Amino acid sequence: MAFYFGILKEPRGLIRLLQFIFAIFAFATACNGSSYLYIKKGSDDKAVSISWSYPYNLQDTQININFNATQKPLSSSNGIKPSAEFFVFTGVTSMLLSLAFLVLYVVTDRLYRYDERIPIIDFILIIIWAIFWIAGSSAWAQGVSSIRSQTSFNYVYTLVPECAVDPKCEENESGTYANITVSVIFGFLNFLLWLGSMWFVYKETKFFKSQTAQQYPQQNNFTNISGPNMQQQQQQPQTRVPGTMG
C-alpha cells in the first residue's frame, strides 16, 4: 500500500492538518481557563475569595467569605456550562474527524478519488461541523462575556453586603481571562477553516465533476466545428494573379 503524503501540499490536505491543530488549541484553551478573585478587607488580604474552572458552572461556585466563615452562591443560573461543554465537544470531535480524514487522504488517496460516496460523506460532515463551530463559538463568546461580568469585583461586591461595612472591601488580586478569550478566537478561526475546506472537497464530488464534464463537451463541439473549416481553408489552392511574380 503506497502512502500519498503529497496530499499535505494540496489545499484539501493542508487545511485538514490546520483543522486538526486549531481544534486542539480551541478546546485546550477553553478547558484551561481556570481563574480566581481575592478581595481584601482591612488587613485580611483574602477576606473574600472565589475560584472557578471548566465547565464554568457558576451556579455551584461559592463565594468564600472568610472573615465570618460563610459561603454564598456566585450565580443563580447555569447558562454558561452548556455552551462551554458544547464548544469543547465540537473541538474534540473536530480534531478526531480531521485526523481520520487526513489518514484517509494519505492511505487511500486513489479510493477517495474514485469512490463517489467518500467525498460526498466528507462534504456533508464539513457542512455539519462548520455549523457546529459557528453556533458553538457564538454561544461560547456569550458565555465568556458572562464569566467576565459575573466574576468581576464590582459584581461580587454587590453580593456581599458585609463589604460595604468599614473597612470596605477592595480588590486585592485576580486571575486573567486570557485562555477563554483566546479559545473564542480559535473557535471562529476553526469555523473559517471548515468553511474554506468546503470548496476543495466539493471539487472531489461527482456533482462538481459532472458539471465540468458537461462544459468540456461543449468546448470540444466548437473545436470540431471550427476544425474542418480551418482545414478546408488551408487545402484551397492559391490562385495566381496575372502579371505577378512567383
Q: What is the pTM of this model?
A: 0.82
By the 8 A CB rule, do 88 and 143 touch?
no
71 - beta bridge partners?
64
pLDDT digits (tens, 9 = 90+) for 181-234: 999 999 999 999 999 999 999 988 887 777 666 666 555 544 454 454 545 555
**27 CB-side CA count, 13 A:** 19
Query: What pLDDT was estimated at residue 210?
Result: 74
Beta strands in the chain (DSSP E): 35-41, 44-52, 62-65, 70-73, 169-174
Q: What confidence tens digit (pLDDT) does each residue in 140-194 have?
A: 999 999 999 999 999 999 999 989 888 899 999 999 999 999 999 999 999 999 9
pLDDT at 229: 52
The domains of the chain, with CATH numbers, are 5-206 (1.20.140)
